[in-house]
Amino acid sequence: MDLTSLSALELGSKIKNKEVTVEEAVKAQLEKIKAKDKEYNCYITVLEEEALARGKEVQRLIEEGKLDSPLAGVPVVIKDNICTKGVKTTCASKILYNFIPPYDATVVEKLLNAGAVIIGKANMDEFAMGNTTETSIFGETKNPHNTEYVPGGSSGGSAAAVAAEEAFYALGSDTGGSIRQPSSFCGVTGIKPTYGTVSRYGLIAYASSLDQIGPIGKNVSDCAAVLDIISGYDSKDSTSIKQDSYNYTKALVNDVKGMRIGIPKGYLGKGLDEEVRTSILGAAEVLREKGAIVEEFELDAVDYAIPAYYVIASAEASSNLSRYDGIKYGYRTEDFEGLQEMYKKTRSEGFGNEVKRRMMIGSFVLSSGYYDAYYKKALKVKALIKEGFDKAFEKYDIIFGPTAPSTAPKLGESLSEPLKMYLGDIYTVSVNLAGLPAISLPCGADSTGLPIGLQLIGKHFGEKDIIRAAYSYEQSR
Amino acid sequence: MNITDETIEYVAALAKLELSSEEKEKAKKDLGSILSYIDTMNELNTDNIEPMSHVFPIKNVFREDIVTNESNRDTLLSNAPKQKDGCFIVPKTIE
Protein backbone atom coordinates (compact mmCIF):
# COMPACT_ATOMS: atom_id res chain seq x y z
CA MET A 1 0.00 0.00 0.00
CA ASP A 2 1.25 3.47 -0.90
CA LEU A 3 1.05 5.41 2.34
CA THR A 4 1.47 8.74 0.57
CA SER A 5 -2.00 8.55 -0.95
CA LEU A 6 -3.57 8.76 2.53
CA SER A 7 -4.91 12.04 3.85
CA ALA A 8 -3.07 13.59 6.79
CA LEU A 9 -5.81 12.59 9.25
CA GLU A 10 -5.97 9.05 7.86
CA LEU A 11 -2.23 8.66 8.32
CA GLY A 12 -2.41 10.21 11.79
CA SER A 13 -5.05 7.72 12.82
CA LYS A 14 -3.11 4.75 11.42
CA ILE A 15 -0.08 5.91 13.39
CA LYS A 16 -2.19 6.23 16.51
CA ASN A 17 -3.65 2.73 15.99
CA LYS A 18 -0.13 1.30 15.53
CA GLU A 19 -0.88 0.17 11.97
CA VAL A 20 1.95 2.35 10.68
CA THR A 21 5.04 3.74 12.40
CA VAL A 22 6.13 7.33 11.98
CA GLU A 23 9.39 6.12 10.45
CA GLU A 24 7.55 4.14 7.81
CA ALA A 25 5.51 7.20 6.96
CA VAL A 26 8.60 9.42 6.74
CA LYS A 27 10.42 6.87 4.58
CA ALA A 28 7.46 6.53 2.23
CA GLN A 29 7.25 10.31 1.92
CA LEU A 30 10.98 10.67 1.24
CA GLU A 31 10.82 7.98 -1.43
CA LYS A 32 7.94 9.73 -3.14
CA ILE A 33 9.85 13.01 -3.09
CA LYS A 34 12.91 11.29 -4.58
CA ALA A 35 10.81 9.76 -7.31
CA LYS A 36 8.85 12.86 -8.25
CA ASP A 37 10.54 16.05 -7.25
CA LYS A 38 13.10 16.17 -10.05
CA GLU A 39 10.14 16.66 -12.32
CA TYR A 40 7.94 19.00 -10.22
CA ASN A 41 10.50 20.91 -8.12
CA CYS A 42 8.17 21.50 -5.16
CA TYR A 43 11.01 21.48 -2.64
CA ILE A 44 13.83 23.93 -1.99
CA THR A 45 15.16 21.81 0.88
CA VAL A 46 14.45 18.17 1.75
CA LEU A 47 15.36 17.22 5.32
CA GLU A 48 16.10 13.54 4.87
CA GLU A 49 18.25 12.71 7.88
CA GLU A 50 16.57 15.20 10.17
CA ALA A 51 13.11 13.87 9.31
CA LEU A 52 14.15 10.24 9.89
CA ALA A 53 15.64 11.11 13.28
CA ARG A 54 12.63 13.21 14.20
CA GLY A 55 10.37 10.34 13.08
CA LYS A 56 12.01 8.02 15.61
CA GLU A 57 11.65 10.63 18.36
CA VAL A 58 7.98 11.26 17.60
CA GLN A 59 7.26 7.52 17.49
CA ARG A 60 8.76 7.19 20.96
CA LEU A 61 6.76 10.15 22.30
CA ILE A 62 3.55 8.66 20.89
CA GLU A 63 4.32 5.29 22.48
CA GLU A 64 4.99 7.02 25.79
CA GLY A 65 1.59 8.65 25.49
CA LYS A 66 3.06 12.15 25.34
CA LEU A 67 1.50 13.13 22.03
CA ASP A 68 -2.18 12.88 21.28
CA SER A 69 -2.68 15.29 18.36
CA PRO A 70 -4.58 13.68 15.45
CA LEU A 71 -1.68 14.73 13.22
CA ALA A 72 1.16 13.46 15.45
CA GLY A 73 3.81 11.81 13.30
CA VAL A 74 2.47 13.12 10.00
CA PRO A 75 5.14 14.69 7.75
CA VAL A 76 4.60 18.30 6.64
CA VAL A 77 6.27 20.71 4.22
CA ILE A 78 6.68 24.35 5.21
CA LYS A 79 6.78 27.24 2.74
CA ASP A 80 10.27 28.67 2.60
CA ASN A 81 9.27 32.09 3.95
CA ILE A 82 8.40 30.62 7.36
CA CYS A 83 11.36 30.44 9.75
CA THR A 84 12.60 27.04 10.83
CA LYS A 85 15.32 27.00 13.47
CA GLY A 86 18.60 25.71 12.07
CA VAL A 87 17.06 25.04 8.65
CA LYS A 88 17.80 27.31 5.71
CA THR A 89 14.90 29.67 4.97
CA THR A 90 15.42 31.52 1.71
CA CYS A 91 12.17 33.14 0.52
CA ALA A 92 13.35 31.69 -2.83
CA SER A 93 15.61 34.73 -3.11
CA LYS A 94 19.32 35.16 -3.72
CA ILE A 95 19.36 37.80 -1.01
CA LEU A 96 18.52 35.14 1.64
CA TYR A 97 20.16 32.19 -0.13
CA ASN A 98 22.08 31.09 2.97
CA PHE A 99 19.92 32.42 5.82
CA ILE A 100 19.57 30.03 8.76
CA PRO A 101 16.97 31.31 11.23
CA PRO A 102 18.00 31.22 14.89
CA TYR A 103 14.39 30.58 15.93
CA ASP A 104 11.19 28.80 14.90
CA ALA A 105 8.12 30.67 13.71
CA THR A 106 5.23 30.29 16.18
CA VAL A 107 3.37 28.06 13.70
CA VAL A 108 6.38 25.77 13.42
CA GLU A 109 6.71 25.59 17.19
CA LYS A 110 3.02 24.69 17.44
CA LEU A 111 3.31 21.99 14.78
CA LEU A 112 6.36 20.49 16.48
CA ASN A 113 4.55 20.48 19.84
CA ALA A 114 1.78 18.53 18.12
CA GLY A 115 4.28 15.94 16.87
CA ALA A 116 4.75 17.08 13.28
CA VAL A 117 7.73 15.86 11.27
CA ILE A 118 9.04 18.60 9.00
CA ILE A 119 10.09 16.93 5.80
CA GLY A 120 11.30 20.02 3.97
CA LYS A 121 10.82 23.57 2.77
CA ALA A 122 8.61 24.40 -0.18
CA ASN A 123 9.36 26.42 -3.29
CA MET A 124 7.58 29.74 -3.81
CA ASP A 125 7.63 32.97 -5.75
CA GLU A 126 10.50 35.15 -4.55
CA PHE A 127 9.34 36.88 -1.34
CA ALA A 128 5.82 35.55 -2.07
CA MET A 129 5.45 38.14 -4.83
CA GLY A 130 3.85 36.43 -7.77
CA ASN A 131 1.17 33.96 -8.66
CA THR A 132 3.01 31.36 -10.73
CA THR A 133 6.05 30.17 -8.66
CA GLU A 134 8.19 31.07 -11.66
CA THR A 135 10.17 33.81 -9.90
CA SER A 136 12.00 31.47 -7.49
CA ILE A 137 15.79 31.50 -7.85
CA PHE A 138 15.59 27.73 -7.40
CA GLY A 139 13.63 27.36 -10.65
CA GLU A 140 9.93 27.07 -11.31
CA THR A 141 7.63 24.48 -9.77
CA LYS A 142 5.51 22.57 -12.28
CA ASN A 143 1.84 21.72 -11.99
CA PRO A 144 1.55 17.99 -11.19
CA HIS A 145 -1.64 17.77 -13.25
CA ASN A 146 0.25 18.85 -16.36
CA THR A 147 3.91 19.84 -16.22
CA GLU A 148 3.55 22.38 -19.03
CA TYR A 149 1.48 24.52 -16.69
CA VAL A 150 2.26 26.61 -13.61
CA PRO A 151 1.12 25.46 -10.15
CA GLY A 152 0.00 28.98 -9.24
CA GLY A 153 1.62 30.98 -6.51
CA SER A 154 3.09 32.21 -4.47
CA SER A 155 2.69 29.02 -2.35
CA GLY A 156 3.08 26.92 -5.53
CA GLY A 157 5.58 24.49 -4.05
CA SER A 158 3.31 23.82 -1.06
CA ALA A 159 0.20 23.23 -3.19
CA ALA A 160 1.99 21.17 -5.84
CA ALA A 161 3.66 19.01 -3.16
CA VAL A 162 0.25 18.16 -1.69
CA ALA A 163 -1.20 17.50 -5.17
CA ALA A 164 1.73 15.26 -6.13
CA GLU A 165 1.51 13.33 -2.83
CA GLU A 166 4.96 14.67 -2.03
CA ALA A 167 3.47 16.02 1.20
CA PHE A 168 0.52 15.03 3.38
CA TYR A 169 -0.13 18.67 4.09
CA ALA A 170 1.66 22.00 3.85
CA LEU A 171 1.83 25.46 5.31
CA GLY A 172 1.55 28.37 2.93
CA SER A 173 1.12 32.10 3.30
CA ASP A 174 -1.51 34.29 1.66
CA THR A 175 -1.10 38.03 1.07
CA GLY A 176 -3.32 38.42 -1.99
CA GLY A 177 -4.36 34.85 -2.79
CA SER A 178 -1.10 32.94 -2.40
CA ILE A 179 -2.68 29.97 -0.60
CA ARG A 180 -6.02 29.88 -2.43
CA GLN A 181 -4.94 30.39 -6.04
CA PRO A 182 -2.25 27.65 -6.12
CA SER A 183 -4.67 25.36 -4.23
CA SER A 184 -7.17 26.03 -7.00
CA PHE A 185 -4.65 25.42 -9.82
CA CYS A 186 -3.34 22.21 -8.21
CA GLY A 187 -6.72 20.75 -7.22
CA VAL A 188 -6.13 20.82 -3.45
CA THR A 189 -7.72 22.66 -0.52
CA GLY A 190 -6.31 25.73 1.20
CA ILE A 191 -7.49 28.13 3.89
CA LYS A 192 -6.54 31.76 4.36
CA PRO A 193 -7.62 32.48 7.96
CA THR A 194 -9.03 35.74 9.33
CA TYR A 195 -6.24 38.29 9.80
CA GLY A 196 -4.90 37.84 13.33
CA THR A 197 -6.00 34.20 13.74
CA VAL A 198 -2.61 32.62 13.03
CA SER A 199 0.55 34.23 14.40
CA ARG A 200 2.80 35.90 11.85
CA TYR A 201 5.80 35.65 14.19
CA GLY A 202 8.55 34.11 12.09
CA LEU A 203 6.83 34.68 8.77
CA ILE A 204 9.24 36.72 6.65
CA ALA A 205 7.22 39.85 5.95
CA TYR A 206 5.95 40.86 2.53
CA ALA A 207 2.93 43.09 3.30
CA SER A 208 2.35 42.84 7.03
CA SER A 209 -1.22 44.17 7.11
CA LEU A 210 -2.31 41.47 4.64
CA ASP A 211 -0.02 38.46 5.28
CA GLN A 212 -1.53 35.41 6.93
CA ILE A 213 -0.27 31.82 7.26
CA GLY A 214 -2.63 28.95 6.54
CA PRO A 215 -2.89 25.24 5.72
CA ILE A 216 -2.96 23.50 2.35
CA GLY A 217 -4.23 19.92 2.38
CA LYS A 218 -5.82 17.09 0.46
CA ASN A 219 -9.27 17.86 1.83
CA VAL A 220 -11.27 20.19 4.09
CA SER A 221 -10.90 17.99 7.20
CA ASP A 222 -7.11 18.00 6.99
CA CYS A 223 -7.06 21.79 6.66
CA ALA A 224 -9.38 22.20 9.65
CA ALA A 225 -7.20 19.87 11.74
CA VAL A 226 -4.07 21.85 10.86
CA LEU A 227 -5.83 25.13 11.63
CA ASP A 228 -6.76 23.72 15.07
CA ILE A 229 -3.03 23.38 15.73
CA ILE A 230 -1.56 26.55 14.24
CA SER A 231 -4.19 29.11 15.29
CA GLY A 232 -4.23 30.97 18.59
CA TYR A 233 -3.30 34.22 20.27
CA ASP A 234 0.40 35.03 20.28
CA SER A 235 1.88 37.90 22.24
CA LYS A 236 4.81 37.89 19.81
CA ASP A 237 2.49 39.12 17.03
CA SER A 238 1.01 42.49 17.96
CA THR A 239 -1.78 42.02 15.40
CA SER A 240 -2.82 38.67 16.89
CA ILE A 241 -6.44 38.65 18.05
CA LYS A 242 -7.81 36.63 20.98
CA GLN A 243 -10.78 34.50 20.01
CA ASP A 244 -13.27 32.41 21.98
CA SER A 245 -12.69 29.15 20.19
CA TYR A 246 -10.06 27.72 17.91
CA ASN A 247 -11.78 24.38 17.42
CA TYR A 248 -12.32 24.25 13.67
CA THR A 249 -12.72 20.49 13.28
CA LYS A 250 -15.95 20.90 15.21
CA ALA A 251 -17.32 22.68 12.14
CA LEU A 252 -16.88 19.60 9.94
CA VAL A 253 -20.62 19.08 9.72
CA ASN A 254 -22.41 17.93 6.58
CA ASP A 255 -25.33 20.34 6.75
CA VAL A 256 -25.98 23.66 5.04
CA LYS A 257 -29.75 23.82 5.56
CA GLY A 258 -30.81 27.45 5.83
CA MET A 259 -27.29 28.76 5.27
CA ARG A 260 -27.43 32.05 3.36
CA ILE A 261 -24.96 32.13 0.49
CA GLY A 262 -24.39 35.21 -1.68
CA ILE A 263 -22.67 35.19 -5.07
CA PRO A 264 -21.34 38.61 -6.11
CA LYS A 265 -22.56 39.33 -9.65
CA GLY A 266 -19.18 40.85 -10.46
CA TYR A 267 -17.52 37.50 -9.67
CA LEU A 268 -19.38 35.85 -12.53
CA GLY A 269 -19.00 38.66 -15.07
CA LYS A 270 -16.43 39.81 -17.58
CA GLY A 271 -13.10 38.02 -17.56
CA LEU A 272 -14.34 34.75 -16.08
CA ASP A 273 -13.56 31.67 -18.12
CA GLU A 274 -16.72 29.92 -19.35
CA GLU A 275 -15.73 26.48 -18.06
CA VAL A 276 -14.90 27.92 -14.65
CA ARG A 277 -18.27 29.68 -14.53
CA THR A 278 -20.16 26.48 -15.36
CA SER A 279 -18.26 24.52 -12.74
CA ILE A 280 -18.79 27.18 -10.04
CA LEU A 281 -22.50 27.46 -10.75
CA GLY A 282 -22.74 23.67 -10.60
CA ALA A 283 -21.22 23.78 -7.12
CA ALA A 284 -23.72 26.46 -6.09
CA GLU A 285 -26.51 24.17 -7.27
CA VAL A 286 -25.16 21.35 -5.07
CA LEU A 287 -25.33 23.58 -2.00
CA ARG A 288 -28.80 24.80 -2.96
CA GLU A 289 -30.04 21.22 -3.27
CA LYS A 290 -28.67 20.57 0.21
CA GLY A 291 -30.85 23.31 1.59
CA ALA A 292 -28.74 26.47 1.38
CA ILE A 293 -30.31 29.70 0.20
CA VAL A 294 -28.21 30.87 -2.73
CA GLU A 295 -28.64 34.23 -4.46
CA GLU A 296 -26.70 36.74 -6.48
CA PHE A 297 -26.03 40.27 -5.23
CA GLU A 298 -23.95 43.38 -5.91
CA LEU A 299 -20.74 43.63 -3.88
CA ASP A 300 -19.69 47.28 -3.59
CA ALA A 301 -16.27 48.70 -4.46
CA VAL A 302 -14.73 45.30 -5.13
CA ASP A 303 -13.73 46.30 -8.69
CA TYR A 304 -11.10 48.53 -7.18
CA ALA A 305 -9.52 45.83 -5.02
CA ILE A 306 -6.61 45.07 -7.36
CA PRO A 307 -5.33 48.66 -7.72
CA ALA A 308 -5.74 49.24 -3.95
CA TYR A 309 -4.01 45.94 -3.22
CA TYR A 310 -0.97 46.64 -5.40
CA VAL A 311 -0.55 50.09 -3.85
CA ILE A 312 -0.80 48.86 -0.25
CA ALA A 313 1.14 45.62 -0.70
CA SER A 314 3.92 47.31 -2.67
CA ALA A 315 4.17 50.16 -0.16
CA GLU A 316 4.51 47.73 2.75
CA ALA A 317 6.95 45.60 0.76
CA SER A 318 9.20 48.56 0.01
CA SER A 319 9.35 49.27 3.73
CA ASN A 320 9.69 45.65 4.90
CA LEU A 321 12.39 44.80 2.38
CA SER A 322 14.54 47.76 3.30
CA ARG A 323 16.05 45.50 5.98
CA TYR A 324 18.08 43.58 3.37
CA ASP A 325 21.26 45.59 3.50
CA GLY A 326 23.99 42.98 3.14
CA ILE A 327 25.09 43.40 6.74
CA LYS A 328 23.04 41.29 9.13
CA TYR A 329 22.33 38.20 7.05
CA GLY A 330 22.09 36.87 3.54
CA TYR A 331 23.86 37.99 0.40
CA ARG A 332 26.47 40.75 0.17
CA THR A 333 27.98 41.91 -3.13
CA GLU A 334 31.66 41.15 -3.76
CA ASP A 335 33.08 44.42 -5.06
CA PHE A 336 32.02 47.84 -3.88
CA GLU A 337 33.27 51.16 -2.78
CA GLY A 338 31.70 52.58 0.32
CA LEU A 339 28.49 51.87 2.17
CA GLN A 340 25.98 53.31 -0.31
CA GLU A 341 27.37 51.32 -3.21
CA MET A 342 27.37 48.18 -1.10
CA TYR A 343 23.67 48.64 -0.32
CA LYS A 344 22.75 49.32 -3.92
CA LYS A 345 24.80 46.55 -5.49
CA THR A 346 23.80 44.01 -2.84
CA ARG A 347 20.12 44.74 -3.35
CA SER A 348 20.30 45.01 -7.15
CA GLU A 349 22.10 41.69 -7.43
CA GLY A 350 20.15 40.00 -4.64
CA PHE A 351 16.55 40.75 -5.63
CA GLY A 352 14.74 39.49 -8.73
CA ASN A 353 12.76 41.60 -11.21
CA GLU A 354 9.29 41.27 -9.68
CA VAL A 355 10.56 42.13 -6.20
CA LYS A 356 12.38 45.19 -7.56
CA ARG A 357 9.28 46.24 -9.47
CA ARG A 358 7.12 46.13 -6.35
CA MET A 359 9.70 47.93 -4.22
CA MET A 360 9.78 50.69 -6.83
CA ILE A 361 5.99 50.93 -7.04
CA GLY A 362 5.96 51.04 -3.24
CA SER A 363 8.64 53.73 -3.03
CA PHE A 364 6.75 55.75 -5.63
CA VAL A 365 3.32 55.63 -3.97
CA LEU A 366 4.87 56.55 -0.61
CA SER A 367 7.03 59.35 -1.99
CA SER A 368 6.30 62.95 -1.19
CA GLY A 369 3.85 64.42 -3.69
CA TYR A 370 2.25 61.05 -4.48
CA TYR A 371 1.43 59.75 -1.01
CA ASP A 372 -2.09 61.22 -0.85
CA ALA A 373 -3.04 60.40 -4.43
CA TYR A 374 -1.94 56.78 -4.19
CA TYR A 375 -1.28 55.40 -0.72
CA LYS A 376 -3.92 57.33 1.18
CA LYS A 377 -6.42 56.85 -1.64
CA ALA A 378 -5.81 53.09 -1.53
CA LEU A 379 -6.44 53.04 2.24
CA LYS A 380 -9.76 54.79 1.61
CA VAL A 381 -10.67 52.29 -1.09
CA LYS A 382 -9.78 49.55 1.38
CA ALA A 383 -12.23 51.07 3.88
CA LEU A 384 -14.97 51.01 1.23
CA ILE A 385 -14.19 47.42 0.28
CA LYS A 386 -14.49 46.37 3.92
CA GLU A 387 -17.75 48.31 4.18
CA GLY A 388 -19.03 46.46 1.08
CA PHE A 389 -18.28 43.12 2.72
CA ASP A 390 -19.78 44.23 6.05
CA LYS A 391 -23.01 45.06 4.24
CA ALA A 392 -22.97 41.73 2.40
CA PHE A 393 -22.50 39.80 5.64
CA GLU A 394 -25.61 41.40 7.09
CA LYS A 395 -27.50 39.36 4.51
CA TYR A 396 -25.30 36.31 3.96
CA ASP A 397 -23.36 33.80 6.04
CA ILE A 398 -20.83 33.19 3.32
CA ILE A 399 -19.84 34.65 -0.04
CA PHE A 400 -19.35 32.23 -2.87
CA GLY A 401 -17.41 32.43 -6.15
CA PRO A 402 -14.44 31.27 -8.17
CA THR A 403 -10.91 31.40 -6.72
CA ALA A 404 -9.33 32.47 -10.02
CA PRO A 405 -10.75 33.66 -13.35
CA SER A 406 -9.24 30.71 -15.23
CA THR A 407 -7.38 27.46 -14.70
CA ALA A 408 -3.56 27.44 -14.59
CA PRO A 409 -1.75 29.24 -17.42
CA LYS A 410 1.14 27.65 -19.30
CA LEU A 411 4.66 28.09 -17.94
CA GLY A 412 6.38 31.17 -19.33
CA GLU A 413 3.23 33.03 -20.32
CA SER A 414 2.73 35.31 -17.32
CA LEU A 415 5.90 37.14 -16.31
CA SER A 416 6.33 39.30 -19.40
CA GLU A 417 3.13 41.21 -18.72
CA PRO A 418 2.99 42.07 -15.02
CA LEU A 419 -0.29 43.98 -15.23
CA LYS A 420 -2.08 41.06 -16.83
CA MET A 421 -0.64 38.77 -14.18
CA TYR A 422 -1.90 41.07 -11.42
CA LEU A 423 -5.44 40.88 -12.85
CA GLY A 424 -5.44 37.14 -12.12
CA ASP A 425 -5.81 38.02 -8.43
CA ILE A 426 -9.19 39.63 -8.98
CA TYR A 427 -11.26 37.34 -6.73
CA THR A 428 -8.69 36.85 -3.98
CA VAL A 429 -7.11 40.20 -3.04
CA SER A 430 -10.25 41.83 -1.64
CA VAL A 431 -10.36 39.11 1.03
CA ASN A 432 -6.92 40.15 2.31
CA LEU A 433 -7.77 43.84 2.19
CA ALA A 434 -10.85 43.18 4.32
CA GLY A 435 -9.02 40.70 6.59
CA LEU A 436 -11.58 37.94 5.95
CA PRO A 437 -11.19 34.14 6.04
CA ALA A 438 -11.58 32.18 2.81
CA ILE A 439 -11.15 28.64 1.56
CA SER A 440 -10.42 27.31 -1.90
CA LEU A 441 -11.44 23.76 -2.74
CA PRO A 442 -11.65 21.74 -5.93
CA CYS A 443 -14.98 21.74 -7.78
CA GLY A 444 -14.09 20.16 -11.11
CA ALA A 445 -11.72 20.35 -14.04
CA ASP A 446 -11.66 22.04 -17.43
CA SER A 447 -11.64 20.20 -20.76
CA THR A 448 -7.85 19.79 -20.60
CA GLY A 449 -8.05 18.22 -17.15
CA LEU A 450 -6.75 21.19 -15.14
CA PRO A 451 -8.47 21.67 -11.77
CA ILE A 452 -10.99 24.44 -11.04
CA GLY A 453 -11.24 25.95 -7.57
CA LEU A 454 -14.25 27.21 -5.67
CA GLN A 455 -13.77 30.02 -3.13
CA LEU A 456 -15.92 30.48 -0.04
CA ILE A 457 -15.43 33.71 1.91
CA GLY A 458 -16.54 34.07 5.52
CA LYS A 459 -17.14 37.01 7.81
CA HIS A 460 -14.46 37.96 10.31
CA PHE A 461 -13.76 34.90 12.48
CA GLY A 462 -16.26 33.00 10.30
CA GLU A 463 -13.87 30.13 9.55
CA LYS A 464 -16.40 27.68 10.89
CA ASP A 465 -19.07 28.78 8.38
CA ILE A 466 -16.81 28.31 5.39
CA ILE A 467 -15.42 25.02 6.72
CA ARG A 468 -18.94 23.67 7.24
CA ALA A 469 -20.08 24.71 3.75
CA ALA A 470 -16.89 23.43 2.13
CA TYR A 471 -17.11 20.11 3.99
CA SER A 472 -20.77 19.72 3.01
CA TYR A 473 -19.94 20.38 -0.63
CA GLU A 474 -17.01 17.95 -0.51
CA GLN A 475 -19.22 15.19 0.92
CA SER A 476 -21.59 15.53 -2.05
CA ARG A 477 -18.98 15.27 -4.76
CA MET B 1 0.87 57.72 -16.80
CA ASN B 2 4.12 58.90 -18.36
CA ILE B 3 7.16 58.08 -16.23
CA THR B 4 10.26 60.18 -16.85
CA ASP B 5 13.90 59.16 -16.48
CA GLU B 6 14.13 61.42 -13.45
CA THR B 7 11.21 59.66 -11.75
CA ILE B 8 12.75 56.24 -12.32
CA GLU B 9 16.08 57.39 -10.99
CA TYR B 10 14.44 58.97 -7.97
CA VAL B 11 12.38 55.87 -7.21
CA ALA B 12 15.38 53.58 -7.68
CA ALA B 13 17.36 55.74 -5.26
CA LEU B 14 14.56 55.54 -2.70
CA ALA B 15 14.51 51.76 -3.04
CA LYS B 16 18.34 51.67 -2.92
CA LEU B 17 18.56 49.96 -6.30
CA GLU B 18 20.96 50.42 -9.17
CA LEU B 19 19.33 49.81 -12.55
CA SER B 20 21.01 49.15 -15.88
CA SER B 21 19.79 51.32 -18.76
CA GLU B 22 17.85 48.33 -20.07
CA GLU B 23 16.19 47.82 -16.69
CA LYS B 24 15.36 51.53 -16.54
CA GLU B 25 13.55 51.42 -19.88
CA LYS B 26 11.62 48.31 -18.82
CA ALA B 27 10.76 49.86 -15.45
CA LYS B 28 9.50 53.04 -17.14
CA LYS B 29 7.14 51.04 -19.31
CA ASP B 30 5.94 48.70 -16.53
CA LEU B 31 5.47 51.40 -13.91
CA GLY B 32 3.66 53.57 -16.44
CA SER B 33 1.11 50.90 -17.31
CA ILE B 34 0.70 49.71 -13.72
CA LEU B 35 0.20 53.24 -12.37
CA SER B 36 -2.29 54.03 -15.15
CA TYR B 37 -4.25 51.01 -14.07
CA ILE B 38 -3.95 52.00 -10.40
CA ASP B 39 -5.39 55.39 -11.37
CA THR B 40 -8.75 53.68 -12.00
CA MET B 41 -9.18 53.97 -8.21
CA ASN B 42 -10.01 57.61 -8.86
CA GLU B 43 -13.34 56.55 -10.37
CA LEU B 44 -14.42 55.68 -6.86
CA ASN B 45 -15.60 58.60 -4.76
CA THR B 46 -13.82 58.49 -1.42
CA ASP B 47 -14.79 61.93 -0.10
CA ASN B 48 -15.31 61.85 3.66
CA ILE B 49 -13.94 58.31 3.94
CA GLU B 50 -11.36 57.70 6.65
CA PRO B 51 -8.25 55.88 5.37
CA MET B 52 -8.13 52.43 7.02
CA SER B 53 -4.72 50.97 7.75
CA HIS B 54 -5.87 48.06 9.91
CA VAL B 55 -9.12 46.17 9.61
CA PHE B 56 -9.47 45.62 13.35
CA PRO B 57 -9.40 48.43 15.88
CA ILE B 58 -6.35 47.17 17.72
CA LYS B 59 -3.74 49.67 18.74
CA ASN B 60 -0.99 50.18 21.27
CA VAL B 61 -0.47 46.55 22.15
CA PHE B 62 1.78 46.67 25.19
CA ARG B 63 3.56 44.02 27.20
CA GLU B 64 5.80 44.07 30.23
CA ASP B 65 9.38 44.88 29.29
CA ILE B 66 10.88 41.60 30.44
CA VAL B 67 13.65 39.76 28.65
CA THR B 68 12.41 36.27 27.78
CA ASN B 69 15.06 35.09 25.34
CA GLU B 70 18.64 34.15 26.04
CA SER B 71 21.56 35.95 24.53
CA ASN B 72 22.42 34.19 21.30
CA ARG B 73 24.85 36.65 19.82
CA ASP B 74 27.02 34.05 18.14
CA THR B 75 24.10 32.34 16.42
CA LEU B 76 22.81 35.67 15.17
CA LEU B 77 26.22 36.74 13.96
CA SER B 78 26.77 33.46 12.17
CA ASN B 79 24.34 34.67 9.49
CA ALA B 80 26.34 37.83 8.80
CA PRO B 81 28.25 37.99 5.50
CA LYS B 82 31.22 39.43 7.43
CA GLN B 83 31.84 39.38 11.17
CA LYS B 84 34.72 39.60 13.59
CA ASP B 85 35.14 39.55 17.37
CA GLY B 86 31.43 39.51 18.02
CA CYS B 87 30.71 42.42 15.68
CA PHE B 88 29.27 42.92 12.20
CA ILE B 89 31.86 44.17 9.75
CA VAL B 90 30.60 47.07 7.63
CA PRO B 91 32.29 49.35 5.10
CA LYS B 92 33.97 52.41 6.52
CA THR B 93 31.35 55.12 6.87
CA ILE B 94 33.41 58.07 8.12
CA GLU B 95 36.68 59.52 6.92
Q: Outline where A20-155 has alpha helix (H).
A: 22-40, 48-63, 106-113
A96: pLDDT strictly greater than 90: yes
Domain that holds residue A232: 3-251
Mean pLDDT of A353-371: 96
Whether B27 maps to a domain, the answer reads yes
The reported pLDDT for the residue numbered A9 is 98
Residue A313 lies in a domain: no
For B31, the domain range is 5-41
- Residue A255: other Cβ atoms inside 10 A: 14
- CA A405 – CA A382 distance, rounded (Å): 22
Q: CA–CA separation, A457 vs A469, rounded Å?
A: 10
CB proximity B2 to A under 8 Å: no
pLDDT over 90 percentage in chain A: 96
Q: Across the interface, which of A102, A307, A359 has its CB nearest the CB of B37?
A: A307
Total domains in chain B come to: 1
* Total domains in the fold of chain A: 1
- Residue A189 lies inside a defined structural domain of this protein: yes
Q: Amino acid letter at A350?
A: G
The mean pLDDT of chain A is: 97
Using an 8 Å CB-CB cutoff, list chain A residues near B33: 419
Residues of A in contact with B90 (CB under 8 A): 327, 339
Give the Cα-Cα-Cα angle B48, B54, B56 (nearest 5 degrees): 100
Confidence of residue B94 (pLDDT cuts 50, 70, 90): confident
Q: Which among B10, B50, B55, B59 is the top mutation candidate for probing chain A, defined by the most A β-carbons within 10 Å of its own β-carbon?
A: B55
Give me the pLDDT at residue A268, please.
94
> Which of A218-234 are b and which e, b meaning 16 or more Cβ less than 10 Å from the residue's Cβ?
bbbbbbbbbbbbbbbeb
Residue B67 falls within a domain, yes or no? no
Q: Considering CB atoms only, which of A329, A338, A359 is closest to B79?
A: A329
Parallel, antiparallel, or unpaired for β A260-264 and A293-297? parallel
Instruction: Pick A332's closest partner by Cβ from B75, B82, B93.
Output: B82
Residue A379 has pLDDT above 90, yes or no: yes
Which CATH number covers residue B32? 1.10.20
Position B23 in a domain: yes
Instruction: Evaluate the CA torsion angle A102, A105, A106, A110 in order and state its sign.
Output: negative
Residue A201: CATH number of its domain: 3.90.1300.10
Residue B92 lies in a domain: no
Across the interface, whether the CB atoms of B46 and A377 are under 8 A apart is answered yes
**Per-residue 3-state assignment (H helix, E strand, C coil) for A255-313:** CCCCCEEEEEHHHCCCCCCHHHHHHHHHHHHHHHHCCCEEEEECCCCHHHHHHHHHHHH
Say yes or no for a CB contact (<8 Å) between A307 and B39.
Answer: yes
Q: Is A150 within a domain? A: yes
Q: Tell me, yes or no, if the pTM score tops 0.95.
A: yes
From chain A, pick out residues whose CB is under 8 angstroms from the CB of B17. Answer: 344, 347-348, 351, 356, 359-360
Q: Is it the case that residue B95 has pLDDT exceeding 80?
A: no
The 10s digit of each residue's pLDDT in A244-301 is 999 999 999 999 999 999 999 999 988 999 999 999 999 999 999 999 999 999 998 8
Which chain A residue has its CA at the smallest distance from B14's CA? A363
In a domain, B89, yes or no: no
Q: Is residue B65 part of a domain?
A: no
DSSP per residue, A86-115: TB---TT-GGGTT---SS--HHHHHHHHTT
Asked whether residue A434 is assigned to any structural domain, the reply reads no
- Burial class from Cβ neighbours inside 10 Å (0-12, 13-18, 19+) for residue A287 reads buried
- State the greatest distance between any 2 C-alpha atoms of chain A, in Å, as a whole number: 70
**End-to-end Cα, chain B, rounded Å:** 43
pLDDT tens-place string over residues A113-134? 999 999 999 999 999 999 999 9
Which is the catalytic residue, given A154, A318, A406, A472?
A: A154
In DSSP terms, B43 is beta-bridged to none
